[in-house]
Structure 1
Amino acid sequence: MTDVLLHLCSPPEWRAALEAGVVAPPSLTDVGFVHLSTADQVALPAERLFAGRRDMVLLAVDPGRLERAGIEVRWEPGVPGDPESMRFPHAYGAIPATAVLGVLPYRPDDDGRFSAPEVPPLDDAGRGRLLQPSILRRTATREVGIAGGVAVLTDSVPSSMLHNQLLVGPGVDTATLVAEADRVLGGAGLTHAAAYVLAPAPGDADALRADGWRIEDLVTMCAPVADLPDATGTELVETVDLDELRPLFDASWRERVPGITDDQAAHLTDRYRIEDAVVALHCYAVREGDRVVATCLLKRDGGTAWLDAVETVPDARRRGHANALIRAAAATARDAGCDLVALDTWADDWKRAWYARLGFTDAGHALAAVRD
């Protein structure tokens, strides 16, 4: 789907809409409608209202969902100064948050000017591929333009490679990637170089591996919420605060990364806290006695939800905890009106086949590249 309508707002405004369940800006009270635009139009209100701002986002709204919700969209003139022949879509009613198919970071150019955005396909696969990079860009302290993409830098969690890396398109040559990593990540004082290569071209992995990068094939998987298992067997699952999961996460990272420091382990949990500022974060746990032995996270972002950090401690595996956690997360997504759940997993991980049995299908590949 590419014929979406766009609503311009800030990340805090979108987070408030997620909490409320609807997008209902002051204009709805003031003039009776929510301002929308097409991709060709949205630079006009962006320049007029938010010139030079580098934190704005575009909510990609499905007009079909507005129609099904009984919300009328009228095409009407803009404000004085807009082209007289131009008609803008105005939604006469609060927009359900679940009518938002994706959230597109919207940045001006180096001169501070906005232009028409490139709206990716927002079918199920496209929505799944968009979500993780979108969250990373919205949580970043700053974003730096690089050849073939952007770099995200997140000052509060410097140990999280996920939140301090290059996000690049396919076909960026290795020399350019290395130079940009040195310039931006090295210039920020980071001791790692990390890159998320979206929709990699043939040969990208081999070229990076030859240059000393560690490469993993990352698969985005999606499932319609209607196809996921129901909430049967979730009696042991609790909704908890993120800090209650910290001991499990800390132990997991210390097992996987020998020599990790206390601060570094803390950053890898804290990164979920900063994501809660831009998406609705739900934390789930299963306890045995007083100890949390299994967990997963769900991040709601409009009509799409993201499943993350599905983990069980070694001595509590094969007891059905992970299945129960995913069932509980799916129930939350379903109750909130989400119609799609997505996740990332390694291509050669056994979990990929398990997710497939639960109803998830492959939506696209990316390369996760790391160089010390």
Structure 2
Amino acid sequence: MLSPVEDPLLHLCTPADWRAALTSGSVAPPSLQEVGFVHLSTAEQVALPAQRLFAGRRDMVLLVLDRAAIDRAGIEVRWKPGVPGDPESMRFPHAYGALPASAVLTVLPYRPDGEGRFSAPSVPVPDAANRAALLEPSLLRRAATAEIAVTGGVAVRTDAVPASRMHNQLLVEGTADAAAVVAEADRALDGLPHRAATLYGETLAGAAGDLYGHGWAVDELRLMTAPAAREGAGGTDGVVDVDLETLRPQWDAVWRRTLPEISDDEIAQLTDRYRVEDTATRVVPLAVLDGVTVIASCLLKIDGATAWLDSLETEPEHRGRGHGRALLEAARDRAAAAGCDLVALSTLARDWPQDWYARHGFTDAGRSWVAAKV
């Protein structure tokens, strides 16, 4: 079971800083060497350093830290005054040591208003369901070339992979009806070959259903989670770490089966999009090989204490031989070894994989809807 988290602390940084921390395994900004501590804040305080140091920047993120994990790492946190100009009564938390990347429960994009000013962020309770629900939209926003405010959320555009609906779409988490989604997609995705959106959370179920009437196709997704650590799990024999290029031939075949009209350039982009994501989080490709041929594979995206399982696929002629189970268990092993305590994924609600994941210890954590104009 995951422990409850109370009053998380925040660290303000750039996406590149966070990616570097995932590589090294620790959050250790230059201030640690310069002054001996890592600057932290509470949600009520963080706008002050953000405005002072990063006024107008629209790519900053907040690392939401687990105080208990910091304590377990033996890192002392002292509360000290800020800089001249900060309220005299305010005390900021300072961490006297490098913070484990696995102490980061979630990564929140932190954006100023239209005039470039930061305000106190809303920090969702970092329980398992929220951590899982926040990971995908956060990653897509961090990987995007541009972000456009829309009704109920943001639109992301990723120049390197315009054919990827996932990376060029509306991400709707707030209040929006179907008509607003349609109109905002036309505005924010102008010039792209598609219109697409993901609607997150139960409150958007009605809007998702209404999109059918606007000529959009809609699929419900189930968000599922499981602890990274396993008890009585099966073996992971045959699973190896590979690079993304090794997976390209298998993915090419998958897309040609699924979308026979797809072009070679579009297929290339659907693999290249994971290279783009690897600039924002740590992407770990796993595979089962028959000689040098990939016959089953998946991706594990490690983002602090939370990991995301994606693109688990076995070639049709090799199904029913336990390769999917081996990949699933290997992914959970890799996540636990990286310090993750939670693995999340999404799967189609109308398809059999949700029952398969449930048999392997995953439980429901919420719903979302992916929609695209037909």
Shorter-chain TM-score above 0.5: yes
313, 316, 320: which is aligned to 1:314?
Answer: 316
SS in 2 for 1:64: helix
Encode CA deviations 1:15-44: one digit per residue, 9 max, x unaligned.
111111111111111111110001111011
One-letter code of the match for 1:275? Answer: E
CA contact (8 A) 1:229 1:330 kept: no
One-letter code of the match for 2:106? Answer: G
Encode CA deviations 1:222-265: one digit per residue, 9 max, x unaligned.
101124664x5322111111001001001101111121000100
One-letter code of the match for 2:224? Answer: M
217, 221, 227: which is aligned to 1:218?
Answer: 221
The answer on 1:178 being equivalent to 2:182 is: yes
Pairing of 1:263-302 with structure 2 (within 5 A): 263-302=265-304
One-letter code of the match for 1:51? Answer: A
SS in 1 for 2:122: coil
The answer on 1:150 being equivalent to 2:145 is: no
Pairing of 1:1-16 with structure 2 (within 5 A): 1=5, 3-16=7-20
Pairing of 1:351-366 with structure 2 (within 5 A): 351-366=353-368
Encode CA deviations 1:328-350: one digit per residue, 9 max, x unaligned.
11111111111000001111111
Q: For the residues of structure 2 that align with 1:226 and 1:286, how far apart are their CA atoms?
A: 22
Aligned to 1:18: 22
Q: For the residues of structure 2 that align with 1:160 and 1:209, how far apart are their CA atoms?
A: 22
CA contact (8 A) 2:161 2:272 kept: yes
The answer on 1:162 being equivalent to 2:166 is: yes
CA contact (8 A) 1:78 1:88 kept: yes
The answer on 1:346 being equivalent to 2:337 is: no
CA contact (8 A) 1:200 1:367 kept: no
Normalising to structure 2: TM-score of the pair? 0.96
CA contact (8 A) 1:2 1:120 kept: no
Q: For the residues of structure 1 that align with 2:268 and 2:232, how far apart are their CA atoms?
A: 33
Pairing of 1:233-244 with structure 2 (within 5 A): 233-244=235-246
Task: List gaps (5 residues or longer) in structure 1.
Answer: none
Q: 193-202 or 220-229, which moves further after superposition?
A: 220-229
Q: For the residues of structure 2 that align with 1:228 and 1:115, how far apart are their CA atoms?
A: 44
Give runs of ≥4 in structure 1 deviating > 3 Å.
227-230
Q: For the residues of structure 2 that align with 1:193 and 1:250, how far apart are their CA atoms?
A: 23
C-alpha root-mean-square deviation of aligned residues, in Å? 1.2
What's the offset of the Cα at 1:206? 2.4
What's the offset of the Cα at 1:120? 1.3
Normalising to structure 1: TM-score of the pair? 0.97
Q: 171-180 or 141-150, which moves further after superposition?
A: 171-180
The answer on 1:190 being equivalent to 2:172 is: no
Q: For the residues of structure 2 that align with 1:256 and 1:310, how far apart are their CA atoms?
A: 15
Aligned to 1:65: 69
What's the offset of the Cα at 1:171? 4.2
Q: For the residues of structure 2 that align with 1:194 and 1:143, how far apart are their CA atoms?
A: 15
Q: For the residues of structure 2 that align with 1:284 and 1:208, how far apart are their CA atoms?
A: 36
Q: For the residues of structure 1 that align with 2:167 and 2:245, how far apart are their CA atoms?
A: 20
One-letter code of the match for 1:56? Answer: M
Q: For the residues of structure 1 that align with 2:194 and 2:96, how far apart are their CA atoms?
A: 49
34, 37, 41: which is aligned to 1:37?
Answer: 41
Q: For the residues of structure 1 that align with 2:318 and 2:264, how far apart are their CA atoms?
A: 25
Encode CA deviations 1:204-233: one digit per residue, 9 max, x unaligned.
232111111111111111101124664x53
SS in 2 for 1:172: coil
CA contact (8 A) 1:298 1:306 kept: yes
Aligned to 1:368: 370
Q: For the residues of structure 2 that align with 1:261 and 1:121, how far apart are their CA atoms?
A: 43
Q: For the residues of structure 2 that align with 1:68 and 1:279, how far apart are their CA atoms?
A: 24
CA contact (8 A) 1:56 1:107 kept: yes
Q: 253-262 or 193-202, which moves further after superposition?
A: 193-202
The answer on 1:90 being equivalent to 2:88 is: no
SS in 1 for 2:372: strand
Aligned to 2:261: 259
One-letter code of the match for 2:323? Answer: H
CA contact (8 A) 1:171 1:204 kept: no
Q: For the residues of structure 2 that align with 1:191 and 1:43, how far apart are their CA atoms?
A: 38
Encode CA deviations 1:265-294: one digit per residue, 9 max, x unaligned.
011111111111111111111112331110
CA contact (8 A) 2:219 2:371 kept: yes
SS in 2 for 1:265: helix
CA contact (8 A) 2:153 2:174 kept: no
CA contact (8 A) 2:229 2:333 kept: no
CA contact (8 A) 2:305 2:340 kept: yes
Q: For the residues of structure 1 that align with 2:144 and 2:66, how far apart are their CA atoms?
A: 27
SS in 2 for 1:244: helix
Q: For the residues of structure 2 that align with 1:206 and 1:9, how far apart are their CA atoms?
A: 38
CA contact (8 A) 2:64 2:104 kept: yes
What's the offset of the Cα at 1:203? 2.1
CA contact (8 A) 2:178 2:208 kept: no
Aligned to 1:51: 55
CA contact (8 A) 1:170 1:200 kept: no
